[in-house]
Chains A and B, each alone.
Chain A
Amino acid sequence: MESGLGPEWAVWLQEGALGRTMRASFLLYPLTNVLHILGFTALAGGILAVDLRLIGLGRRLALDQVARVMLPVALAGLAVAVPTGALLFVTEAVGMWNNPVFGWKVAIIALAGANALALHAGPWRRVAEWGAPGVKPPPRARAAGAASLLFWGGAVILGRLIAYF
């Protein structure tokens, strides 16, 4: 595990009781990894369903119905992915701080969040109209769906690539 070359707060985090427990426990680290995967699977999968509908797939279904089912799945996934991610970070905070791929992953997730906020603050307010069966969503909504696919796909890819850098 990388040590030394990192900001004090990162060293403090990883050398604390939580960090030491994560590293020492045989089961906790693999279990946290598995839960993190299950969490982001639900998160990415839920968002994928809505994004595909946003860009026009499955137009027979009403978009707000799809969203009503799938967004809570995504949020439940987020609720698992974030704390498990935090535990994984604490395990090797210095290494993660120094890892450029981890930084990009956080950045791309922030972009995904901003994209989602812009969609929900804007076009989503009239989703009952343009998300109705058979209706083509407006360009802004389609663009937000496409961007979301790229951002979340990117986040999943970057998460896997952390180990290789």
Chain B
Amino acid sequence: MTLITRRVVIATALLGAVAPAALAHHGWGSYDSDTVLTLNGTIKTSTYENPHGTLEFDADGKTWHVILGPPYRMQNRGLQADMMKPGTTATVVGYPSRNDPVEMRAERITIAGKTTELR
């Protein structure tokens, strides 16, 4: 085949090979946004880090790994790190991971009557 054709094939193959790996790990595409989870529970631990904060969250008899938002956004919207200390009760609404049964991506979190949108 011609030089151009060969290079087009290689480039397309590279991009196409990515497709089967879709939904792996915890990229934004790996959450089931047709299923809305509402978890009422207690924060075990939290991180307030880039690219996004996280919670280890005890709810429904399990410890959930909850994906929050970027620190700058959370701060901007009034959700400070010290509001998520261990032992704090909270309600988290979000989407479950397709790969990990105890991971979810939070759309919003309610602590002490205040709800913060994370997306």
B3 and A150 form a contact (CB under 8 A): no
Known: A139-B3, A146-B4, A147-B7. A163 touches B27 (CB 8 A): yes
Q: How close is A43's CB to chain B, nearest CB, in angstroms? A: 18
The answer to whether A85 has its CB under 8 Å from any CB of chain B is: no
B71 and A165 form a contact (CB under 8 A): no
Contact residue among B8, B22, B25, B52 (Cβ-Cβ distance under 8 Å from A150)? B8
Which residues from chain A contact B54 at a C-beta distance below 8 Å? 1
Bound-state CA distance A12–B11 (Å) is 33
Which residues from chain A contact B30 at a C-beta distance below 8 Å? 165
Smallest CB-CB separation from B17: which chain A residue? A104
Query: What total count of A-B pairs have CB within 8 Å?
Result: 91
A67-96 Cβ-contact flags toward B at 8 Å (1 or 0): 000000000000000000000000110010
B24 and A164 form a contact (CB under 8 A): no
Known: A143-B3, A146-B7, A147-B11. A26 touches B18 (CB 8 A): no
Bound-state CA distance A161–B117 (Å) is 24
Bound-state CA distance A60–B22 (Å) is 44
Q: How many residues of A contact B (CB 8 A)?
A: 39
Q: Which of B34-42, B43-51, B55-63 forms contacts with chain A?
A: B43-51
Bound-state CA distance A157–B11 (Å) is 12
Which residues from chain B contact A98 at a C-beta distance below 8 Å? 25
Known: A26-B72, A146-B7. A91 touches B21 (CB 8 A): no
Chain A residues 14-48 with CB under 8 Å of chain B are 22-30
Smallest CB-CB separation from B47: which chain A residue? A1
B50 and A25 form a contact (CB under 8 A): yes
Q: How close is A100's CB to chain B, nearest CB, in angstroms? A: 4
